[in-house]
């Protein structure tokens, strides 16, 4: 069976744990190497990843490229608009052709149904580099970041996430959906503080709760962050969404600022997938302050995706 990574649940809890272990161990093992030098074992030597972009990206494109270099392989970028996809060639035919030419495909697109169709016709692994529905690669990097920050506090790796309290502030979007999945797979508790009318997909919450996740909806942002270990937010207007004044007004009370962070646990972490809209969902004082783990989080996209790639190629999990 070809291993696709369209959502975190495609891997499942044991594989996600193996992915996180691999990401943390390989990152530590190459700490002093130049960023473009391959790992000593070069486990994907000779392999090529095609990255197809229908939306903008900085972190995802650079981190997948660097991940493939560090695994001994290489990556190529296809801007969808300049390919035949942009002139109407079908996703199915594109999947068939790319599967003959490269070893794995990453897609960033809008409609999640497109990546499901790509995976249906591809005979090589397909990885979700963000859709309107979810952003699973981002959340593996987030989990890695929290585990790494917790270990010096004496929490063993396997227990670092279970029982933690996380609070999500802002829009009920694609990144939140993957965090909800992660809560189901790893056992942290999640308080979702989203203004009424901007809630996330109920199906993600129902599936995570069925796996035992404790997820609550809190309209009051102060109640949501009270005593939590991790505060996470994202842009209020995702790529492809309209910039509506009424949405920005509804989101305003959910801004992560110093006054709100003061209600979280003393050593709480702040996460943001980036790009940030400083002065909207987060203030400078928080993103540049001592709680912020956003630069580790961004770097960890490389290490997390190396492990996701190794899982997709059947090397771990
Ligand atoms: N966080 C993230 O996916 O960033 P990019 O949009 O820059 O890839
Ligand atoms: N929710 C954001 C994430 C960007 C990485 C978006 O979809 O634009």
Tens place of pLDDT for every residue, the chain, 317 residues? 999 999 999 999 999 999 999 999 999 999 999 999 999 999 999 999 999 999 999 999 999 999 999 999 999 999 999 999 999 999 999 999 999 999 999 999 999 999 999 999 999 999 999 999 999 999 999 999 999 998 765 555 556 899 999 999 999 999 999 999 999 999 999 999 999 999 999 999 999 999 999 999 999 999 999 999 999 999 999 999 998 999 999 999 999 999 999 999 999 999 999 999 999 999 999 999 999 999 999 999 999 999 999 999 999 99
Residue for token pair 């009920």: 172
Which pLDDT belongs to residue 243? 85
One of 70, 234, 255, 272 is an active-site residue; which one? 234
Q: Clarify whether residues 142 and 93 are in a common domain.
A: no
Beta pairing partners, 78:
52
Q: In angstroms, what is the span from residue 235 Cα to ligand 2's centroid?
A: 7
* Alpha carbons 125 and 34: distance in angstroms, whole number: 28
Q: Clarify whether residues 176 and 262 are in a common domain.
A: yes
Write out residues with Cβ below 6 Å of ligand 1.
57-60, 130, 138, 273-274
Beta pairing partners, 53:
79, 108
Q: Clarify whether residues 151 and 127 are in a common domain.
A: no
The ligand whose atoms approach the alpha carbon of 132 most closely is 2
Considering the domain boundaries, does residue 210 fall inside one? yes
Task: Please indicate whether residue 138 is annotated as part of the active site.
Answer: yes
* Alpha carbons 115 and 6: distance in angstroms, whole number: 7
Q: Clarify whether residues 147 and 59 are in a common domain.
A: no
Considering the domain boundaries, does residue 41 fall inside one? yes
Q: Clarify whether residues 274 and 201 are in a common domain.
A: yes
Q: Clarify whether residues 174 and 240 are in a common domain.
A: yes
Q: In angstroms, what is the span from residue 6 Cα to ligand 2's centroid?
A: 16
Considering the domain boundaries, does residue 280 fall inside one? yes
Domain count, the chain: 2
Considering the domain boundaries, does residue 73 fall inside one? yes
Considering the domain boundaries, does residue 2 fall inside one? no
Query: How do the residues of the chain divide into helix, strand and coil, expressed in percent and rounded to 5?
Result: 45, 15, 40
Residue identifier of the C-alpha nearest atom 4 of ligand 1: 59
Q: Clarify whether residues 14 and 151 are in a common domain.
A: no
SS3 92: helix
SS3 264: coil
Q: In angstroms, what is the span from residue 237 Cα to ligand 1's centroid?
A: 14
Which pLDDT belongs to residue 152? 62
Residue identifier of the C-alpha nearest atom 2 of ligand 2: 238
Q: Clarify whether residues 155 and 199 are in a common domain.
A: yes
Q: What is the domain-level CATH number for residue 112?
A: 3.40.50.1370
* Alpha carbons 121 and 126: distance in angstroms, whole number: 10
Task: Please indicate whether residue 315 is annotated as part of the active site.
Answer: no
Name the H helices within the chain.
8-11, 13-29, 59-70, 91-101, 112-121, 136-150, 174-186, 202-210, 221-225, 245-251, 258-261, 284-287, 294-312
Which pLDDT belongs to residue 157? 54
Q: Clarify whether residues 64 and 108 are in a common domain.
A: yes
Which pLDDT belongs to residue 159? 61
The ligand whose atoms approach the alpha carbon of 179 most closely is 2
Report in angstroms the alpha-carbon separations of 70 from 24, 66, 302: 14, 6, 9
Q: Clarify whether residues 129 and 159 are in a common domain.
A: no
One of 69, 273, 303, 310 is an active-site residue; which one? 273
Q: Clarify whether residues 144 and 266 are in a common domain.
A: yes
Which pLDDT belongs to residue 108? 98
Considering the domain boundaries, does residue 317 fall inside one? no
Q: Clarify whether residues 170 and 160 are in a common domain.
A: yes
Ligand 2 atom nearest the C-alpha of 138 is 5
Output the CA torsion sign for 64, 180, 20, 27. Answer: positive
Sheet with 165-169, strands from edge to edge, namely: 215-217, 189-193, 165-169, 230-233, 269-272
Task: Please indicate whether residue 234 is annotated as part of the active site.
Answer: yes
SS3 315: coil
* Alpha carbons 224 and 233: distance in angstroms, whole number: 12
Ligand 1 atom nearest the C-alpha of 55 is 6
Which pLDDT belongs to residue 151? 72
**Radius of gyration of the chain from Cα atoms?**
19
Considering the domain boundaries, does residue 65 fall inside one? yes
Residue numbers of the domain that contains 183: 137-297
């Amino acid at each position: 069976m070809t291993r696709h990574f369209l959502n975190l649940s495609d891997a499942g809890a044991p594989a996600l744990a193996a992915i996180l272990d691999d990401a943390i161990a390989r990152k530590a093992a190459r700490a002093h190497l130049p960023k473009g030098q391959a790992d000593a074992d070069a486990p994907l030597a000779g392999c090529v990843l095609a990255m197809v972009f229908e939306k903008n990206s900085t972190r995802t494109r650079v981190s997948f490229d660097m991940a493939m270099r560090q695994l001994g392989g290489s990556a190529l970028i296809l801007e969808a608009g300049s390919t035949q996809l942009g002139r109407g060639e079908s996703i199915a035919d594109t999947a068939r052709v790319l599967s003959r030419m490269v070893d794995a495909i990453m897609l960033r697109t809008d409609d999640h149904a497109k990546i499901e169709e790509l995976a249906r016709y591809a005979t090589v692994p397909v990885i979700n580099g963000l859709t309107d529905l979810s952003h699973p690669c981002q959340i593996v990097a987030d989990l890695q970041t929290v585990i790494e920050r917790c270990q010096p506090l004496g929490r063993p790796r396997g227990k670092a996430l279970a029982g933690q309290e996380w609070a999500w502030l802002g829009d009920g979007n694609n990144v939140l959906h993957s965090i909800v999945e992660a809560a189901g797979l790893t056992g942290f508790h999640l308080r979702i503080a989203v203004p009424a009318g901007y809630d996330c997909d109920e199906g993600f919450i129902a599936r995570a709760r069925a796996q035992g996740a404790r997820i609550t909806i809190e309209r009051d942002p102060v109640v949501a962050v009270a005593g939590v270990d991790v505060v996470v937010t994202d842009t209020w207007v995702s790529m492809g969404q309209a910039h509506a004044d009424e949405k920005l007004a509804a989101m305003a009370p959910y801004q992560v600022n110093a006054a709100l962070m003061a209600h979280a646990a003393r050593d709480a972490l702040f996460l943001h997938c980036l790009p940030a809209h400083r002065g909207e969902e987060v203030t400078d004082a928080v993103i540049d302050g001592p709680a912020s783990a956003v630069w580790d989080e961004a770097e960890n996209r490389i290490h997390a995706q190396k492990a996701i790639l190794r899982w997709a190629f059947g090397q771990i999990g």
